[in-house]
Chain A
């Protein structure tokens, strides 16, 4: 066995097969290294600088929202045909990013993919933060966000209900369920880890704070028994949930009759696009994190390689989606649809956005067919940024290009984002990054309990029941 959990795959090229856990690890060393990043690491200058920059963007967000609440939606560039623009683009972009977290933590858990173990905690946190950023946009786009509760069924003197036949109401339920269930899943996964931090913290305040979050977890065998059942069931529930959420998001478009919005490929192609951008975001964040925090032995080249493969696969599905959209527009014979897809997108006023999208989402990712690109962290990082840019443009194209030229030429109009549009969008990146910086400082970014399980399982392959005291559980990775 050259790698934990995954048998050595001889590739015949004499290339190194990377392990999911590298180096020699015991329960103690795993706990010390991951927990130490939270408990013992000094506050670093670059962390403060990062938090300060993120906080600066967050401040811009707060200013933009305040001005929006004071002045109203007129400060944005939206107009009568283009009533959805940056806000819904950003909403769909963020919610899509969140989906990779659920995919990594839930679907790969059910498929027993060991390589998810070191990245799932971070990916789940990313999901939560992305859903928080996503949730802002439909709310502020309401115009009068203080009346958001009109979307919910609540007792009122007029006897009114939410419009159950509208995908926008489905979206309220889908996104809020998704946020809640992601929080449950993340927190349940965190309980054994915060218990570890509670038991190892020297600082009294930290001990109380982690102790409060740990809820009195002791690692009782009976508790573990129920815990594992609950965790697997949450994974099982999250899997259809994540598919349903982005499907419902795609219904927001596909139940309308706007040209370019109502193709049946929308739900699967939206879900694939969500996973595509989400994996790109995980890679964007994890690659710097692993080098700054010296976590190369937990987040190995194998993880980066696998993430690149998932991006390649989902990128191909997305490319197929673009192809089917174009094909159906031509084959369907609807003049509005075919004008939209085959003329407005590639040749119209927003052609630059469309070609940017095709370049970012379909072309660049093809280099992931080559192993050199997949196993080079810097390349994967750069490609991830490109892919996320492309995925933002995808939603921008779908929303703005379709809306700006609808059925009636007299109502056509261009959309241009204002400074407030950009401030709100970059502001949510600030919100996201602030939460990420706080998360990596105060909570374990890699699941200690699950990495310990990897060590535990591996030592049992050697017929050795001891951990921490006796012979260390080792991984004879070729790269050690």
Chain B
């Protein structure tokens, strides 16, 4: 890679993509790359592979806390709306019954709790995953595009990672007997 090239950014690849044949191999490769300090990397498979995200340092994700906040927000909004309408904004005395008839407000509060939580589960997960993503350079690799969602196990070390070095990274990926290693264009 020529560092003197004026169009350096455009010329540098997106990363190195290795395809492995077994879950064991891709797990070992991902663990090794992470332990060597690689951070900008990801693995791709058509089924979730147990421990693969963890091998790349992802111990937990933010979906559950977001869902909790969504539920809390939905529930509080729901109850407040009904309380405000019935007690403050449009109080109506029906035979001296209490204005804040909270048991009657529970169904709507519950439904809005679920709605808030489920909305954040859906949109929160998509946002954290950076989806929708209209362009992904990995699809420049024909083999990846054909098989990432069928049966391939792919590991990509991205060129933006400070540890990335074309030759050293290639050697690292090669240690775990990949089926192929390709350079992915940006």
Contacts and interface: CB of A to CB of B under 8 A. Distances in A.
Contact of A219 (B90, B133, B135, B148): B148
A118 to B, nearest CB: 15
Contacts of A223: 129, 131
A229 B85 contact: no
Given A173-B107, A177-B111, A222-B56, A161 B151 contact: no
B96 interface: no
Given A164-B105, A456-B47, A177 B112 contact: yes
A248 B63 CA distance: 29
Interface string A227-269: 1111001100110110010001001000000000000000000
A335 interface: no
B54 to A, nearest CB: 8
Contacts of A174: 107, 111
B110 A244 contact: yes
Contact of A233 (B42, B105, B117): B117
Contacts of B71: 237
B47 A218 contact: no
Interface stretch (B6-14, B120-128, B159-167, B170-178): B120-128
A452 B118 contact: no
Interface stretch (A80-88, A121-129, A192-200, A309-317): A192-200
Contacts of A181: 114-115, 118
Contacts of B67: 230, 233, 237
Interface residues of A, number: 64
A31 B67 CA distance: 32
B150 A468 contact: yes
A225 B53 contact: yes
Contact of B63 (A195, A200, A226, A240): A226
A199 B111 contact: no
Interface string A170-213: 10011001001100110110001001101110000000000000
A237 B53 contact: no
Given A27-B150, A233-B117, A453-B47, A216 B111 contact: no
A240 B114 contact: yes
Contact of B118 (A160, A216, A234): A234
B33 to A, nearest CB: 12
Nearest to B108: A173
Q: Is the interface of B mostly helix, strand, loop or mixed?
A: helix
B95 interface: no
A359 interface: no
Nearest to A199: B149
B138 interface: yes
A159 B49 CA distance: 55
Nearest to B147: A199
Contacts of B18: none
A215 B89 contact: no
Contact of B107 (A170, A233, A234, A469): A170
Contacts of B47: 27, 449, 452-453, 456
A219 B118 contact: no
B121 A465 contact: no
Interface in A418-460: 449, 452-453, 456
A369 to B, nearest CB: 37
A221 B49 contact: yes
Contacts of A221: 30, 42-45, 48-49, 52-53, 56, 58
B24 A222 contact: no
B107 A218 contact: no
B149 A170 contact: no
Contacts of B63: 226, 229-230, 233
B82 A184 contact: no
A217 interface: yes
Interface string A49-81: 000000000000000000000000000000000
A237 B86 contact: no
Contact of B151 (A27, A165, A244, A248): A27
Contacts of A164: 82, 85-86, 104-105, 108
A196 B149 contact: yes
B136 A218 contact: yes
Contacts of A218: 44, 136, 138, 148-149
Contacts of A225: 48, 53, 58, 61
A143 to B, nearest CB: 24
B76 interface: no
B48 A226 contact: no
B40 to A, nearest CB: 11
9 contacts: A161-B86, A167-B107, A184-B119, A199-B148, A200-B146, A221-B49, A225-B53, A227-B125, A244-B107
Interface of B: 21-25, 30, 42-49, 52-53, 56, 58, 61-64, 67, 71, 81-82, 85-86, 89-90, 101, 104-105, 107-108, 110-112, 114-115, 117-119, 121-122, 124-126, 128-129, 131-136, 138, 145-151
Given A215-B133, A233-B67, A251-B107, 9 more contacts: A161-B86, A174-B107, A174-B111, A196-B149, A215-B126, A220-B129, A237-B114, A237-B118, A453-B47
